Amino acid sequence: MTSKDRNNILIGTSGYSYKDWLGNFYPQFCPAADFLRFYAAIFRTVEIDSTYYRIPAREMVAKWFKVTPDDFIFTAKFPSKVTHEGDIDSRIEYARAFIDVMRRLENKRGPLLLQFPYSFKPDEHFGILEKLVAAMPEDVKVAVEVRNKKWLKKDFFELLRSRNITLAMIDHPWMPKKTEHTGNFSYFRLLGDRKKIDSDFSYIRFDREDDLQWWSHVAEEFSRDGEEVYAYVNNHYSGHSPSSARRLMEMLGPASK
């Protein structure tokens, strides 16, 4: 069963370009240039991680579009220059430049993720977040991820709701599994612990069956009214994200039109 078995629940992995997947997901001698084409035959969506480091070249985005099926969806992280550094004006300018490039994905462009670090705290940075989300175009789906528990309060949730921005729900060592609903789609990130799995992403190292079952129930709940649910599994979650993503889809069962 692949993630194409369900219409409004899209499941994939965080990134796709891993040589550790050769022989256990990709064919043993698959060229790196063919990774995405092969990946897109199995999954219907991917979360691009490389955009965190830099805005992708327009030619790269055009290639992503060209080698994937018509119904494939890309989500991507905003660059760190938007979420981790700089004054508000430079952050907004860089965010707009990033969005402009990502528009080249056309109908294949899904949500864009603002992933903030632990050091991004409400008492110091609430104003920055307010201005950032206010600068987001209405036609762009945006999700916000925080990694500091101090954010998880009413005023933060109300800010996201006021801009129709989704709180990313994460499975992370020091964050609660918060299922606050703030936007018109859901965005799950199964991250895991980098300290426990920091290399060799070729096989499952931790049994996440109970956790995956929990997330499958949440996905079912949020998808009942036809709302889109995006879920991405990181290699650090259990050791081999394609296997975990496929298992999550198996738990969700066949498509319901």
Q: Is residue 257 part of a domain?
A: no
Q: Quick check: 56 and 50 in contact, CB under 8 A?
A: yes
Which residues form the domain of 20? 3-252
Lowest mean pLDDT among 2-16, 44-58, 79-93: 2-16
Instruction: Say if 22 falls within a structural domain.
Output: yes
Task: Name the phi and psi angles at 170, rounded to 5.
Answer: -125, 150
30 domain-assigned: yes
The per-residue pLDDT for 194 is 86
Please check the confidence at residue 257 and state whether its pLDDT lies above 60.
no
pLDDT at 137 over 60: yes
Helices 58-67/88-102 angle, 10° precision: 40
Check pLDDT > 70 for residue 144: yes
**Could you read off the pLDDT of 33-63 as tens digits, one per residue?**
999 999 999 999 999 999 999 999 999 999 9
Is residue 160 included in any domain, yes or no? yes
Q: What total number of domains does the chain contain?
A: 1
Q: What is the DSSP string of 134-154?
A: HTS-TTS-EEEE---GGG-SH
Report pTM: 0.94
Quote the CA–CA distance of 76 and 14 in Å, as a whole number.
9
Distance CA 257, CA 252 (A): 14
27: helix, strand or coil = coil
Interval 61-76: pLDDT, tens: 999 999 999 999 999 9
Give the C-alpha separation, 46 to 76, whole Å: 8
Amino acid at 215: W
